[in-house]
Structure 1
Amino acid sequence: MNLQFSRLLDPSKSRHTEVDSNLREIALEARRKFPERVASSNLRLWTPNVEAETGSILLAVAPSFSRPDLYLLDLINASLCEESHVACFVVDVESEEGRVVVADMLQVDQVRQLPWGITPLLAEIESNNLILLGTGNDAIKKAFSVFQLPISIDEYAKRIRNVSLIFGEIKGDGRWT
């Protein structure tokens, strides 16, 4: 499987050498490169004027700080093909478009700062409206169902458990609960 999204936050791929500025620079570089990675994938970048068919999925992710979000995108990208019946749009939650979409999904006026662990956010597009299907772990579980991903959710949990602390529902043996 091509890990084109997960590698966005790989420190060994960074051209920066200073430890203190390294993480910040990697995050900024990930945000900058995210749209071009989406363009070269089976996913579609969400923009305000995009024409999305009813039944399409929108996934709001944090490419500058969430490796689990990026690994999920790798899995979804691998599961989609040109003949896929489900279109998957993605948006960076820190972008201007992302903040508007997240506010719409959460049915609030605006989003200043996202709570920790809320990404990814998953919504279905119905007649130009966003129907929130889940946030955080619930969104991940729903994505596994919608996209019929090539690994089990327990395997996903094992692979990301050393990456992030947001998955408090992962037991010590790596099983997803």
Structure 2
Amino acid sequence: MLSARRGQALEREHTTAEHIPYTAHVAARVVRTGPGDYLQAFRLGGASFESSDDEQLNSWHERLNVLWRNLASPNIALWTHVIRRPERPTVAVAAGRGFVDILTARYRERLSSETLMVNDIYLAVLYRPLAGLTAGLASRLLARTSSGSPERELRDALDACAKLGQMVRASLA
């Protein structure tokens, strides 16, 4: 009886393949999509722009512009994703400092009643081995008729993805 209800519930569920079009996890940080593209995602850390001086801001701006210029290619697509999630902040407990203890206790009490939101920012880099006019069905037909082996094509794509990943990590460090 229980398994019959579970089976009916599973039939009503949507599969993840409807929303996430990947076919294989080909490397530690790379997945292959249905059309044959290679995707890797990077979680980005934050920076405090409000308290940074102009020189630091200009340096970050220049590094980001250099990254975008280096990534500019018909074979590369970029997406950003923001995931908002609730978080309960924790405040360290102070001990034996009088006023600091009172202030910390009041601050913890106020924060315990609030739910703060955290933004996790991701950069997705998509590498398309065949780009331009040869997309979709045409690229698959061309890939089948090409003289290269699938292992070699995969190795070349993973090398390109490794270089892209190294470039992104170095520029955004």
Instruction: Compute the TM-score of the two structures, normalised by the length of structure 1.
Output: 0.22
Instruction: Compute the TM-score of the two structures, normalised by the length of structure 2.
Output: 0.22
Query: With CA pairs under 8 Å and 6+ residues apart, which has the higher RCO, 1 or 2?
Result: 2
Q: Compare the two structures and name the one with the higher strand fraction.
A: 2
Q: Report which of the two structures shows the higher radius of gyration computed on alpha carbons.
A: 2
